[in-house]
Amino acid sequence: MEGLKRIVVRIAYTADDHVSALSPVHRCLCPFLSAASHLYAFAVKFREKLYTWGIFKPTRLAVPVISVGNLTWGGNGKTPMTEFLALLFVEAGISPLILIRGYAGGDETRMLQRHLIDTAIKIGSGPNRGNIAASFLQQYGVMKCNRKSDSTGNVCLFKDCDTFANKLGNEIGVIILDDGMQHWSLSRDLDIVMLNCINLWGNGHMIPRGPLRESLKELRWADLIVLHHADLLGAAHVDRVDFCDHHNFQNKDLNIVQNKLQCLKDEFGNKAIIVLTEKDYERSHTMFSKVEALDVLVLHSTLTILCSGNSKTRLKTMLLNKVIRK
């Protein structure tokens, strides 16, 4: 199964005019993947229409909802953006609740819990995020955020403003929906879409022929588009061993990694170092700790705004205008 996943990923990031360079196995799979993509695209569009026609109705929660989503599978910076927004709201005196799907062993949930352990940020994990949100709101209550402007007419941004003079309590003032672009069952007040600048659309096809979870036309619903990896657009040569997103590492995978490391040592004469993503570490740190000879580094990702000027303040004002009631 893992081998098939790798083949599908390879096809998904190969442009149509380069398919001829793929192996015969890859090329034989393309027609079947294309047919599956058409079925997937129809199902996504039909589900969207059910909400547009009012047959399905999204749930409106008692507090504003900010969605952080993407158009393609994996590696788009949704979780770092979610953490960034949560800390931004805490800075503004508003207690957030983060809702995560919690699939694949809950690596993202554990990672966020470790990062945010000493904050007022709450994290709910599970497939039915509407019910989880309702449970949290019932348990902790709803924070009423009334609009108050400063002398320039801007919304107050920091805890020392009169609006947020009291100590930040348990009441929830905003919900951040991690991976929420396709989560039509909850109403959102702001949609943020993350795009990976290293490879924006793959080959431009829908899953499984390509990496797109929705049509590019769906970007029209975005209130804010964030370019992830915007400072990594140059060419680079990287030695790597690829596994699927949320892969559960086994001993056989370690053997593959060790063989790769030995090849690199034989070629360059130096001991190589393994770099894991933080999500991989959450799932597999005990596995890699078994091999004492390996030097393992964990890549901790945080979001930094690269735009010049007062971009963070403008973003904060935009968010608070959505959250603080008129």
pLDDT of 135 strictly over 80 = yes
Answer positive or negative: Cα dihedral of 108, 109, 115, 121: positive
State whether residue 175 is helix, strand or coil.
strand
CB 159 within 8 A of CB 34: no
State whether residue 291 is helix, strand or coil.
coil
State whether residue 296 is helix, strand or coil.
strand
Any idea where the domains of the chain sit in the sequence? 65-231+306-323, 251-299
**Structure tokens that stand for 96 in this block:** 């957030």
Q: Which one is predicted more confidently, 24 or 167?
A: 24
Q: What pTM did the predictor assign? A: 0.72
Which pLDDT belongs to residue 268? 64
Residue 150, Cβ density class (10 Å: 0-12 exposed, 13-18 middle, ≥19 buried): exposed
Q: How far apart are CA 258 and CA 240, in angstroms?
A: 12
State whether residue 166 is helix, strand or coil.
coil
Supply the Cα-derived Rg of the chain in whole angstroms.
22
- H/E stretch holding 226 reads strand 224-228
Which pLDDT belongs to residue 168? 67
pLDDT tens for each residue of 288-313: 666 555 677 787 777 777 765 677 77
CATH 3.40.50 fits 65-231+306-323, yes or no: yes
